[in-house]
């Protein structure tokens, strides 16, 4: 089951993809500014100082607000997200108190009522009280039961949604591994690369899937951050492993689309890794095989 944390992150990444697709060649910075009260929404995208038209953002914004709701606190009224072309990362912030529309934007009469009926809160900002055509309504919204706060297997619970404050997502692009482990002879090919000696820290797992299923192999980081496919290229030399991933696979792994892994391993471990990864990526009964260099 996907958590609110995962779905929020994926929606922000999807917004970034829409912005990148609409941005002109050579762009360097884009900022998405969203404001919503009830069903009244404004979304403006600034790309290098010029307003950019991007289709499909309003529905993403509405869903993000739903996911960010916290009982008693409501949800944010404004959100700002900043993207760059070179990275899957984003930075931004949300605000659950301030007026979300710069200037003298008039809010439709029913929007404040709808806001407080759908997202009830214990403290109502003064500007929202002033915009109400009648008394503050009694909350009608039931808490969601379709999400869970627990993280991936073996990890701490995911953080609570951010209602006010900073947002940041920084996928990894570089990892150093100092220990390796391999599966038994005759079993499905398996390799694990550990960040720390003794098996601690982050790790990468590579598993061949020769059972004819839809996923030709499984590549994962610690816990359940993984992708069944989505590796487009794999380059290996004596000191370094480089993986190229599709954007979706990178988001599943919480990495950039190019992940560089420095190998602090013995020559024997590196040679065993070369053999096992070749079996992992070439042995799948279905799906495309990544481009392999150094095998």
Q: Domain segments of the chain: what residues? A: 4-169, 172-293
* Cβ neighbourhood burial of 151 (10 Å; 0-12, 13-18, 19+): middle
Q: Quick one: tokens of 6?
A: 């995962």
Which carries the bigger pLDDT value, residue 224 or residue 22?
Answer: 22
- Rounded-to-integer distance, Cα 187 and Cα 81, Å: 46
Q: Quick: pLDDT tens for 225-274.
A: 899 889 999 999 999 999 999 999 999 999 999 999 999 999 999 999 99
Going by C-beta distance under 8 Å and a sequence separation of 6 or more, which residues neighbour residue 243? 219, 231, 233, 234, 258, 259, 261
The answer to whether the beta carbons of residues 234 and 243 sit under 8 Å apart is: yes
CA distances from 111 to 3, 72, 132, 138 (A): 29, 19, 8, 15
The answer to whether the beta carbons of residues 88 and 247 sit under 8 Å apart is: yes
β pairing state of 291-293 and 231-236? parallel
Q: Quick: pLDDT tens for 21-60.
A: 999 999 999 999 999 999 999 999 999 999 999 999 999 9
The answer to whether the beta carbons of residues 264 and 178 sit under 8 Å apart is: yes
Q: Quick: pLDDT tens for 87-135.
A: 999 999 999 999 999 876 788 989 999 999 999 999 999 999 998 877 6
- How many other CB atoms are found less than 10 A from the CB of residue 120? 19
**In the predicted structure, residue 138 carries a pLDDT above the cut 70:** no
- How many other CB atoms are found less than 10 A from the CB of residue 59? 10
Q: Quick one: tokens of 234?
A: 């794999």
Instruction: Please give the full DSSP string across 219-267, using - where no structure is assigned.
Output: EE-STT-EESS-EEEEEE-SSEEEEEE-HHHHHHHTEEEEEEEEE---H
End-to-end CA distance of the chain, in Å?
37
Mean pLDDT, range 183-207, rounded to an integer = 89
For position 152, what pLDDT does the model report? Answer: 47
């Amino acid at each position: 089951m996907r958590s609110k944390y995962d779905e929020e992150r994926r929606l922000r990444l999807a917004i970034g993809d829409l912005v990148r697709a609409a941005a002109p060649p050579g762009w360097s910075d884009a900022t998405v500014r969203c404001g919503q009260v009830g069903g009244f929404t404004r979304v403006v995208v600034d790309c290098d100082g010029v307003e950019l038209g991007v289709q499909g953002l309003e529905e993403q914004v509405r869903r993000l607000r739903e996911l960010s709701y916290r009982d008693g606190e409501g949800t944010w009224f404004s959100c700002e997200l900043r993207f760059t072309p070179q990275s899957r990362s984003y930075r931004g912030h949300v605000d659950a108190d301030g007026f979300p529309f710069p200037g003298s934007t008039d809010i439709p009469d029913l929007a404040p009522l709808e806001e407080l009926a759908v997202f009830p809160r214990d403290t109502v900002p003064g500007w929202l009280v002033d915009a109400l055509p009648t008394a503050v309504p009694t909350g009608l919204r039931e808490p969601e039961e379709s999400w869970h706060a627990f993280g991936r297997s073996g990890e701490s619970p995911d953080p609570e949604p951010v209602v006010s404050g900073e947002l940041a997502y920084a996928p990894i692009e570089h990892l150093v591994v100092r220990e390796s482990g391999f599966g038994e002879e005759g079993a499905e090919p398996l390799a694990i690369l550990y960040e720390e000696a003794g098996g601690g820290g982050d790790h990468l797992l590579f598993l061949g899937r020769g059972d004819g299923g839809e996923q030709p192999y499984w590549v994962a980081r610690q816990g359940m951050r993984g992708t069944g496919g989505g590796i487009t290229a794999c380059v290996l030399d004596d000191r370094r492993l480089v993986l190229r991933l599709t954007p979706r696979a990178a988001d599943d792994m919480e990495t950039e689309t190019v992940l560089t892994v420095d190998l602090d391993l013995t020559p024997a471990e590196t040679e065993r890794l070369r053999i096992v990864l070749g079996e992992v990526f070439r042995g799948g009964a279905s799906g495309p095989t990544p481009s392999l260099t150094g095998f």
